[in-house]
Amino acid sequence: MKKILVTGAVGQIGSELTLVLRKKYGNDNVIACGHSKQPSDELKNSGPFEFLDARNYAEVETVVKKYDIGVIYHLAALLSAVGEAKPQLAWDINVNGLVAVLEIARNYGCSVFTPSSIGAFGPSTPKKNTPQDTIQRPTSMYGVTKVAGEILCDYYFLKFKVDTRGLRYPGIISYVSPPGGGTTDYAVDIYYKALENKKYTCFLKADTRLDMMYMPDALNAAINLMEADPAKLKHRNAFNVTAMNFTPEQIAKAIKKKIPDFKIDYEIDPVRQGIADSWPDNMDDSAARKEWGWKPEYDLAKMTDDMLLNLSKKLNLKY
């Protein structure tokens, strides 16, 4: 079989996706790539690992030729809060990196998965039940790069017949790898702090509602989309997908059911609050359900049970 390349394989989604892909398709068939961060022993020892800069066409080309790559999961990207602190770098990594990968895909016949985000929407987008096809005028640099990425992927499909596919992810929650520099990171941190201190200080307001998803659903979504019958895909590059939506107050309540003396308070970070306020409350993901059978498994209660169980084992803390 043609092999699979995962860029950003040391990141939050990449590190878990690589291991799931290796289990499914064979260890030697999935090549993990990182840029500067060291991979975990598990990632390094379970299959091939290469360092490369996804913005550098020649470096990506060397790896694609070396392993005869047919599918690229392109996950190397900066998230929203760090993107606001470093907008030029966010553009460089998120857009120029994608352009290099799309050019490789065009020249070597690869298919490409690219994650977009709820960040591709902005304050003028309908906030409730946000449609699949709607206004996209984001006000964060992260959002600007995500919209550019969605359109670039459309362009490479229409113009060059590159098999591009993608999802608009909500906040992703996992007990394995921590996120870095996102607006939805609070929904991961809160579980760590609940177990460690029984107290969490949240950087978003109590009633800030955002879409979220547990990591196993996020990984299934990417793999199922890449395996979907292309004839059925009308939207291809930017499917709304969500599994649940909640506020900080509601996730705290779900944790309190398991850890009754858990407490939450609030110290608002204006930058991340501003970003969150510009994003949808909840997206309509019916196009993904219809076109390739998207169906999440985890809701807030089921995710909370699993997060606390696995994190308490990882941190060696009882609750």
* Element housing 58 (H / E): helix 57-67
Kindly give, in sequence order, each residue whose CB lies less than 8 Å from that of residue 294, ignoring residues fewer than 6 positions away: 221, 224, 225, 239, 241, 285, 288
Tell me phi and psi for residue 208, to 5 degrees: -80, 110
3-state percent breakdown (helix, strand, coil) of the chain, nearest 5: 45, 15, 35
C-alpha 48/C-alpha 39 separation (Å) is 11
Interactions with ligand AKB, residue window 263-302 (CB under 6 A):
none
Between the CA atoms of 113, 223, 134 and 286, what dihedral angle is there, to the nearest 10 degrees? 160
* Element housing 115 (H / E): strand 111-117
109's torsion region: left (phi>0), alpha (psi -120 to 50) or beta? left
| Contact call for residue 77 and ligand AKB (CB under 6 A) | no
3 vs 209, which CB is nearer to ligand AKB? 209
CB of 79 to ligand AKB, least distance (A): 4
Of residues 15, 136, 145, 184, which one binds ligand AKB by CB under 6 A? 184
Of residues 171, 248, 280, 296, which one binds ligand AKB by CB under 6 A? 171
CB of 66 to ligand AKB, least distance (A): 31
- Tell me the sheet residues that pair with 7: 74
| Contact call for residue 182 and ligand AKB (CB under 6 A) | yes
C-alpha 115/C-alpha 193 separation (Å) is 28
46 vs 240, which CB is nearer to ligand AKB? 240
Length of the chain measured in residues:
319
177 vs 183, which CB is nearer to ligand AKB? 183
Judged by CB under 6 A, the stretch of 26-34, 180-188, 215-223, 243-251 that binds ligand AKB is 180-188
Judged by CB under 6 A, the stretch of 89-97, 152-160, 170-178, 289-297 that binds ligand AKB is 170-178
The token pair that represents 268 in the structure block: 């608002």
* Residue in 113, 172, 168 with CA at minimum distance from that of residue 298: 172
The token pair that represents 178 in the structure block: 């921590």
Judged by CB under 6 A, the stretch of 22-30, 32-40, 114-122, 263-271 that binds ligand AKB is 114-122
Binding footprint of ligand AKB, residue count (CB under 6 A): 14
Kindly give, in sequence order, each residue whose CB lies less than 8 Å from that of residue 123, ignoring residues fewer than 6 positions away: 137, 139, 277, 278
Contact 291, 228 (CB under 8 A): yes
Of residues 31, 32, 79, 311, which one binds ligand AKB by CB under 6 A? 79
Q: Which of 67, 142, 169, 200 is catalytic?
A: 142
Per the annotation, the verdict on 73 as an active-site residue is: no
Of residues 8, 11, 14, 119, which one binds ligand AKB by CB under 6 A? 119
49 vs 113, which CB is nearer to ligand AKB? 113
Per-residue binding string, ligand AKB, 43-72, x by CB under 6 A, is ------------------------------
CB of 274 to ligand AKB, least distance (A): 13
Task: Give the C-alpha distances (Å, rounded to integers) separating 137 from 12, 146, 147, 202.
Answer: 26, 11, 8, 27
| Contact call for residue 80 and ligand AKB (CB under 6 A) | yes
| Contact call for residue 117 and ligand AKB (CB under 6 A) | yes
CB of 290 to ligand AKB, least distance (A): 23
**Which amino acid belongs to residue 207?**
D
Of residues 63, 118, 307, 311, which one binds ligand AKB by CB under 6 A? 118
Residues of this chain that bind ligand AKB (CB under 6 A): 79-80, 117-119, 142, 169-172, 179, 182-184
- As annotated, the active-site residues are 142
